[in-house]
Structure 1
Amino acid sequence: MVTGQPHVTPHAVAEPEPSATGGPQLVAQQLRGANAAVRELLLALSVGFTIPGPLPRELLRKVAGDGADGLDSLVARAELSGFLQSDGAVAGTARHALLTTTSTPRIHALQRELVGCFVADGLPLGDLARELARSGLADHRVAAELEKAGDRALERDPGLAAQLYEEALLAGADELGTASRRALAASATGDLDSAGRIVDVLLVCADPPDLRLGVDVAAAVWAQRGLLARCADVYTWLGPERVGPSAPSAAVAMIGCGNRAGAETMFPAGSVPESPTLLAVAQAQTGQGILASLAMDPHQVLPILIHASDMMNASGAAVPVPDTPGALAALVALHSGEPYLAETIVRAATTAVQGGDAAKPRLFLIQAWCAMQQDNPDDARLAINEACKANHWPLVPRDEFLCAALEVGLARRSGEVHDLLLAWERAREAMLHTSVDLYSLLPWGELMITAARLRETRRISLYLDGAWKLLQDLGEPPLWAVPMHWAAVQAALLSDSPADLAPHAAALARAADRSHLASVLAAAGKVWVSVLAGKVRAADVEAAARGLNAVGMPWEGARLAGHAAARASERKDMVRLLSCARDLHPQGSATGANTARQSEATSAAAADQGNSSAQSDGSMLSEREKDVARLVLEGKTYREIGEAIYISPRTAEHHIARMRRRLGAENRSDLLVRLRLALGSENPKGSDPLVPLTGRSADPQQGARR
């Protein structure tokens, strides 16, 4: 420690004061001419020694002969030189010059001595350890300090942990010893490629350290890639004798790919948590809930998984798992017909950052699915946007597939053919990078319906075969199978294929006694068939439509009511069902909201108010007529137009006749041309109005005759 007044020698006073603000080369020349002891002091301080505090032994020996005030005199001379500032820090230019002109072995020797001083005093190196590692110092004490810092940061800031582990490697840390933790840090930030490369090195070793954590990371990476079967294979390779606390994760992975026997071997019924901690109990209950979801009466599943999600939220832990309990609980709620509850679950999990940053996109996408299911497209798109910006890495393949299926679902519900085609192409590409598993059945069901709508079923038939085999291997559990059978019923209706519809309708009927959702869907399916056969009973249709709304399917209910209204023979039934459709799906005619609730009589009367002007200006058309015009340009028939915006086929015919008179069209082709001109840029891009997507004639009259 510096004490008393610094002793200044006459020689020091006589020395010129070099400028500490010159360039590095100039400063280096000045330092070479300075007193050797001053230079050694400045070098020591540049390395990290401080005044007051320990200094290098060699420097202390040099000043020992100057008496008790030798160090004080040396400090005074350094200050007088202009290179040592009053706060004890070396001027920046001088520090840079000293560190660049001194030999590396000399620098490292001083750094090791500095580390020894910290260790002897029992002081942590802190940020100094990072600086030493970056400078190229290899020292096991520095490496150990950085490893500990990385371990502390791993849960709360995996990005920082990854940097600390890399710096520990620079300082000489064991590459294999840190592999599992480095892989975990990389996967937690969404860097799947780095995580996979690190863990691959670990798993091929004869006796890898920290093996179970490495397996958990590898399994989580496979799951995020959308290849849950490979995730299960990793746990199979580990074996039940070594799986330990990871047994619930192994069960989740194996159930997800259809291996029920393997799951029960890894995580037998009645298994208890390895410890009473929040994390251990949350993981154990997640495994128990997924196993219970395969039962014929799965009513206890949701409470178990919700408890698991709550405990995981409370623990604040971000451990590598095939899927978070929050995501699984929300999926079970969706499969049970409770999208409102599912949204509540994922919102709580997102707020608690359950699973860390890597899990955020999936939770937001499931939240978007809940919003779409409840017919809230704006909320769904907001959640999709949050998912896409939740991580600085691109969406992992599993999340990219879910996002693509969401876009398909939103486009199908909006009725925008161009958007649907674009979304379908994106989904086709996304599905090539993933595989079918139990926890992705909802998006596969959506794609099944859309494929039938677009006559593209052959493109996903292989995946659908895999989905049905998966359910068969698990014993057709009602919880997971019912929504898939409902999707198949809708696809068969779109394909006009009674033979394909029958087995799925029968499956819904069989499950009706054990599943409320199945009973509602079975009733709705029966009504759909009756409607398509021309037997419209308004009371039955309305009950089925409102039943669909009660299980979180308002859009499907409105669609059923709209189809039935278009086929109703009685005017009162048509009006009743149109009103029901509008109640369930008020934004069904959002583009013409100001006329959405016009009555049938008003619409018909308006059709008689002619205007023979031959203008092709879009201002000549009302908002409702523009809605009809867009559908005409998409090749829709009267019936399809009515179903799309919840009006009767006759009202659609009146609208088209009125537009034809207003625009002065002489025939159908002339009308199409004039409508394109009237709408201008509003015409859906990329669609050929003369060739409708379903292959039917674009002639409205021809469609009406059908």
Structure 2
Amino acid sequence: MSSPDTSPMVLDPVVERAWERVDEARHVVLSGPAGCGKTALLSTLGDRFAVVDDADRAPGEVLAGLTRRVASGAAVAVAHRPFHRNPELSVLLGALAPPVLRVRCGPLRRAQVARMLARTGSTPAAARLDAVYEQTAGVPAFVELAVSADPVGAFGPVLDAVGVDTRRLVLALALGAPLDDDLLGEALGVGGDALVFAVEEARSVSAIRADGAVVPIVAHACRALADPRERAAVLRALVREQQRRGLPVRGLAESVLDAPVVTARQADLMLDAGREALRDRPDLAQRFLAAAARSGAPPERWAPGAAQARVLTGDLDGALRVADEVAGTSAGAVVTAVVLARRGELARAAQLLASARGADARHIAAIGHAATGSWRTAAELLEEQFTATALPDTVGRAMARGVLDSVTGAPTDALSALISAAHTAHALDRPLLLPDTPTALAAQLALHLGEFEPAEALLSRVRARPEDTSTARHRLLDAHRHLLTGDHAAAADALPDARGLEPREALLAAAARVGLARRAGDLRAVDDEWGRAYQALLAQPVDLLTLLPLGELAVAAARLGRWHHVEAHLDQAWDLLDRCGHPASWSVLPHWHAMQAALVAGRRPAVRDHHEHLVRHRDRTTLGKALAPAADCWATLVDGHVDVAVVDQAAKALHAAGLRWDATRLAWQAAIRTTDRAAITRLLDIARQLADHTAGTTAGVLSERERQVAELVLEGLTYRQIGNRLFISAKTVEHHVTKIRHKLGSRNRRELVGDLDDLLSR
């Protein structure tokens, strides 16, 4: 008798441990479905036992003879399938006197499948091993067939060995039917004991797993080997019965999705399956609806769903092409409007839905109108009676209400409505046909309000979902959050690949890159990024959702002397905010950015104008409460008045609100705008303290190398002489001087020397 360790077979660990006691047994009983190694184990027993394999199918007289031999003291080893109706086998098993070794054989685990393949000379890669294990469910006989030259053909004998009812049952399950006795009985015309026997027989040959599903490789072989006419008849019967019961048909449709020809009679099946898959698998829905189109179904039946599916998978160009098949219909208008909105064309999206009907159309239009200044129209749309028929409708309405409230109501109420919509959408855990994600809308409003912790909580929840087609937008908003709060390294890490971004996201990405370069004091990098940023800006109309990137670009334009590039867009922004009544939710951050731009450009009247707006919203939002005192400081700094205590308080308020880079910059700029050396010392200490508490940010003060370069500049050395002194190139010296000048806000070399003299000679 050979041991399992030296034999070519591989055993499950539980079976292997049990088999180690075989020499202690008087009798051996092996049970389990076909293909799980019972015959191989019997072959190791030698001559000690009277062996009978497949005892469940053995003739009655053979089993009766064994029973008599057991009574006379013979040792017997029996292997049988767990489901049997052989009375003589039951008598034999009852006659076995202890000790009896009873072993239950079953599928192998993944590690044992790997050992089995290795012993046959095949050591597959992990991906192929996983595929073999998944396809065969670990059944040893099926593993051997799976790696054979003809895996499908090799299953012919397996299927031929069972009855007709069992083959039709397995075929029905392979086509996607659930293991439902009533449904299968009606569809197959098999009921009562015959159906029970068919299920038991299918399990006895390992065709069905414990959960009732067909082993994948068996299902594939069964579909391929079945007579096409029988397969079609079974499929029709199943579809008819499941539709009659109102049950899903997606599984049935999926089983014939890759058939070379989808017949006209299958069109309804594909349409129904497409509607089902649209809820959670838009990629699969596209395939179903494409099959329906190939079968000759008219566009009005498949195009609306196919267009929605393309939007939900991020294929906006494809969605527009398909929506054109049903141009002029409400469904086509909704899809087109969503695509326009996702590309930043909110006004056009709202106009397109002027005559569309349905709750989804009203909510999309209301969002577009509210975000583009037509808030009264948005309010009228939301006043219409609304009865939620599904959670997505509730999400859309909450989003529209949140955007409208951000213009006409309390900022916190608006943010609460949008966060609630984001939570509901997250619970649904599927893409929705909306102009934006509720998470993105809520996060963007939170950034405008200075509510950085809620924004982080919203964005972190979707950050780890790469399958989400809105991932790029969420990452870009996270980058802007880091930019505002001064964590520049994290902002750079959050930026997605710029290739393939839609226009709306391209503007956010360009503004973030410009903002990072500006905060690093690298004017050359700002200039390098400006071309892409300007093109992105030209491609986007101004609405409430473009104010964040527009503000960043306005400051950079002032720094580069290219105010004319952003002036028209800013005029549109002020007109938009004026039509909205200058809501606190959206006005504070744009006026802060515009004030910074005016400071850079030396436009004092504009500084005072933006200062007035910021003071007006001092107590309306968290951001307004932090920025108003800082605006007070800046308004006096431009006139050369520096009150250290006031600057200290305002800078610390900015820092506490999360605006750490702005806090450091305020203290630093105050230091270089006063001639009082005691004040300079105190303000630089404040700037350094604030910078020390800003993880991952640009400090806003000179680095050690920059300080060395600055000292030599004051000595009057040329760039080449400084380079020779510090063992660096003249080009590197020029780069350091450029960064120093922009950190100090010096407009030319004369001002730079004066600023450095104030700082380094104290």
**Match for residue 360 of structure 1?**
471
* Structure 2 counterpart of 1:224, from 342, 364, 368: 342
How far the C-alpha of 1:90 sits from its partner, in A, is 14
The AA in structure 2 aligned to 1:286 is M
How far the C-alpha of 1:455 sits from its partner, in A, is 0.7
**Match for residue 420 of structure 2?**
307
* Structure 1 counterpart of 2:298, from 160, 171, 174: 174
Structure 1 residues 75-119: Cα deviation after superposition (integer angstroms, max 9, x where no partner): xxxxxxxxxxxx999999xx99x99xxxxxxx9978755654655
How far the C-alpha of 1:494 sits from its partner, in A, is 0.5
* Structure 2 counterpart of 1:147, from 271, 276, 281: 271
The AA in structure 1 aligned to 2:488 is P
CA distance in 2, matches of 1:563, 1:655: 22
Structure 1 residues 37-92: Cα deviation after superposition (integer angstroms, max 9, x where no partner): xxxx99xx9xxx9983399xxxxxxxxxxxxxxxxxxxxxxxxxxxxxxx999999
Q: Is the 8 A contact 2:513 2:529 kept in 1?
A: yes
The AA in structure 2 aligned to 1:551 is A
Q: What is the number of residues matched between the two proteins?
A: 557
Q: Is the 8 A contact 1:479 1:515 kept in 2?
A: yes
Structure 1 residues 636-679: Cα deviation after superposition (integer angstroms, max 9, x where no partner): xxxxxxxxxxxxxxxx4x4545xx6xxxxx84354366479615
**Match for residue 667 of structure 2?**
561
* Structure 2 counterpart of 1:252, from 367, 387, 398: 367
**Match for residue 494 of structure 1?**
600
What does 1:526-675 correspond to in 2, within 5 Å?
A: 526-586=632-692, 624-628=703-707, 652=710, 654=711, 656-657=713-714, 667-668=717-718, 670-671=720-721, 674=724
The Cα RMSD (Å) is 4.4
**Match for residue 14 of structure 1?**
none
1:381 aligns with 2:505: no
Mark the CA change 1:126 to 1:440 in structure 2 (over 3 Å): closer, same or farther: closer
The AA in structure 2 aligned to 1:195 is A
Mark the CA change 1:275 to 1:180 in structure 2 (over 3 Å): closer, same or farther: same
Q: Is the 8 A contact 1:401 1:431 kept in 2?
A: yes
CA distance in 2, matches of 1:169, 1:182: 10
What does 1:111-510 correspond to in 2, within 5 Å?
A: 115-116=235-236, 119=239, 129=253, 132=256, 134-204=258-328, 208=329, 211-212=330-331, 214-238=332-356, 242-268=357-383, 273-275=386-388, 278-295=391-408, 297-350=410-463, 357-385=468-496, 388=497, 394-510=500-616
How far the C-alpha of 1:531 sits from its partner, in A, is 1.9
How far the C-alpha of 1:276 sits from its partner, in A, is 7.1
Structure 1 residues 190-224: Cα deviation after superposition (integer angstroms, max 9, x where no partner): 111101111122123xxx4xx34x43322221112
How far the C-alpha of 1:510 sits from its partner, in A, is 2.6
Structure 1 residues 558-611: Cα deviation after superposition (integer angstroms, max 9, x where no partner): 101001112333333222222222232338898999xx99xxxxxxxxxxxxxx
SS of 1:368 mapped into structure 2: helix
CA distance in 2, matches of 1:89, 1:302: 54
CA distance in 2, matches of 1:627, 1:285: 52
How far the C-alpha of 1:452 sits from its partner, in A, is 0.6
How far the C-alpha of 1:339 sits from its partner, in A, is 1.7
How far the C-alpha of 1:486 sits from its partner, in A, is 1.2
Structure 1 residues 363-414: Cα deviation after superposition (integer angstroms, max 9, x where no partner): 22112211121111222222224xx49xxx8221111111111111111112
The AA in structure 1 aligned to 2:292 is A
Mark the CA change 1:217 to 1:357 in structure 2 (over 3 Å): closer, same or farther: farther
CA distance in 2, matches of 1:299, 1:126: 43
The AA in structure 2 aligned to 1:328 is L
Mark the CA change 1:163 to 1:311 in structure 2 (over 3 Å): closer, same or farther: same
The AA in structure 2 aligned to 1:255 is A
Q: Is the 8 A contact 2:713 2:753 kept in 1?
A: no
How far the C-alpha of 1:320 sits from its partner, in A, is 1.4
CA distance in 2, matches of 1:475, 1:126: 51
Report the more deviating stretch, 133-142 or 520-529.
133-142
Mark the CA change 1:141 to 1:628 in structure 2 (over 3 Å): closer, same or farther: farther
1:697 aligns with 2:749: yes
Q: Is the 8 A contact 2:359 2:386 kept in 1?
A: no
Q: Is the 8 A contact 1:478 1:511 kept in 2?
A: yes
**Match for residue 623 of structure 2?**
517
CA distance in 2, matches of 1:237, 1:157: 30
Structure 1 residues 287-326: Cα deviation after superposition (integer angstroms, max 9, x where no partner): 2222211236434222222222222222224221122222
How far the C-alpha of 1:446 sits from its partner, in A, is 0.7
CA distance in 2, matches of 1:566, 1:365: 34
Structure 1 residues 510-555: Cα deviation after superposition (integer angstroms, max 9, x where no partner): 3335445334323212211322322211001111111222333111
The AA in structure 1 aligned to 2:749 is S
CA distance in 2, matches of 1:378, 1:525: 27
Q: Is the 8 A contact 2:450 2:621 kept in 1?
A: no
Kindly indicate whether structure 1 or structure 2 has the higher relative contact order, using CA contacts under 8 Å at least 6 residues apart.
1
Mark the CA change 1:688 to 1:160 in structure 2 (over 3 Å): closer, same or farther: same
SS of 1:293 mapped into structure 2: helix
The AA in structure 1 aligned to 2:297 is A
Mark the CA change 1:249 to 1:527 in structure 2 (over 3 Å): closer, same or farther: same
How far the C-alpha of 1:277 sits from its partner, in A, is 5.0
CA distance in 2, matches of 1:349, 1:127: 29
CA distance in 2, matches of 1:586, 1:133: 61
Mark the CA change 1:89 to 1:339 in structure 2 (over 3 Å): closer, same or farther: closer
Relative to the length of structure 1, the TM-score reads 0.69
CA distance in 2, matches of 1:685, 1:668: 13
**Match for residue 618 of structure 1?**
none
The AA in structure 2 aligned to 1:275 is A
Report the more deviating stretch, 169-178 or 481-490.
169-178
Q: Is the 8 A contact 1:312 1:325 kept in 2?
A: yes
The AA in structure 2 aligned to 1:558 is T
How far the C-alpha of 1:418 sits from its partner, in A, is 2.7
Q: Is the 8 A contact 2:271 2:301 kept in 1?
A: no
The AA in structure 2 aligned to 1:146 is M
Mark the CA change 1:587 to 1:627 in structure 2 (over 3 Å): closer, same or farther: farther
**Match for residue 42 of structure 2?**
none
The AA in structure 1 aligned to 2:485 is Q
The AA in structure 2 aligned to 1:626 is R
How far the C-alpha of 1:465 sits from its partner, in A, is 1.5
The AA in structure 1 aligned to 2:553 is L
Structure 1 residues 456-515: Cα deviation after superposition (integer angstroms, max 9, x where no partner): 110122211211111112122122112111111111100001122222222222333544
Q: Which 5+ residue runs of structure 2 have no aligned equivalent?
A: 1-56, 59-148, 151-155, 171-215
SS of 1:420 mapped into structure 2: helix
SS of 2:540 mapped into structure 1: coil
The AA in structure 2 aligned to 1:325 is P
Q: Is the 8 A contact 1:405 1:446 kept in 2?
A: yes
Relative to the length of structure 2, the TM-score reads 0.64
Structure 1 residues 151-180: Cα deviation after superposition (integer angstroms, max 9, x where no partner): 333233322222222223223333221212
Q: Which 5+ residue runs of structure 1 have no aligned equivalent?
A: 6-22, 25-40, 56-86, 100-106, 598-622, 633-651, 661-665
CA distance in 2, matches of 1:138, 1:482: 59
How far the C-alpha of 1:436 sits from its partner, in A, is 1.3
Mark the CA change 1:558 to 1:689 in structure 2 (over 3 Å): closer, same or farther: closer
The AA in structure 2 aligned to 1:228 is L
The AA in structure 1 aligned to 2:333 is V
Structure 1 residues 347-378: Cα deviation after superposition (integer angstroms, max 9, x where no partner): 2344678xx72222212211221112111122
Structure 1 residues 226-276: Cα deviation after superposition (integer angstroms, max 9, x where no partner): 2111111122242xxx233442332111111111122122112xx675227
